Amino acid sequence: MSSQVDKSVVTTSVTLLSALVLLATVLFLVAALIGVVNSVAPDDGSRKQTAVLDRIQPVARVSTALPKPAGEVKMTGQEVYNKVCTACHAAGVLGAPKVGDKALWEPRFAQGLDTLVTHAVTGIRAMPAKGGDPSLTETHIKNAVVYMLSETGIKTDAAPAPTAEAVPAAPQ
């Protein structure tokens, strides 16, 4: 019996020791896991705020800026007059000299064609700059002024500025 008792004590001791080692390993792993979980930065609400802002972004935005044309639009002086200038210069609105009224145009033309063009480009008195159409170039305005003067019967030495198509290409 003594060998059987010895065997039982050894078996019980090994089983108890194995259980204690297993328990220590599990406790060590749990402690390591708690350490990793505690090292994660606490949430200060910024992720939630970012998510909310992303969710409520507008679908589109309104822009009040005028789009820039892809290239210069080619228009004659008559086309510019019909598009922009006729609104005021056909009826003499707010003191605008009517096309065809030589008495109103001669004192203005006496200041010089360049002065007339400058006033039309920058605006003067009730006239807005470029007749209210910012897409027009100085060439467009000059062509329109020359057209209005010629329709009034005032001869100018300045011919309408050539369009890009009329300019001959330089020899290479």
Q: How many domains is the chain built from?
A: 1
Residue type, 2: S
- Residue 128 maps to a domain: yes
User: What's the confidence (pLDDT) of residue 18?
Assistant: 95
Which residue ranges in the chain fall short of pLDDT 70? 1, 40-43, 68-72, 158-172
Question: Rounded to the nearest 10 degrees, what angle do helices 102-110 and 113-122 cross at?
Answer: 100
CATH code of residue 89: 1.10.760.10
User: What's the confidence (pLDDT) of residue 163?
Assistant: 47
- Residue 55 maps to a domain: no
User: What's the confidence (pLDDT) of residue 167?
Assistant: 46
- Residue 94 maps to a domain: yes
Structural domain containing residue 125: 77-152
Neighbours of 78 (CB within 10 A): 17
- Residue 57 maps to a domain: no
User: What's the confidence (pLDDT) of residue 165?
Assistant: 45
Rounded to whole angstroms, the Cα distance separating 115 from 82 reads 22
User: What's the confidence (pLDDT) of residue 172?
Assistant: 46
- Residue 167 maps to a domain: no
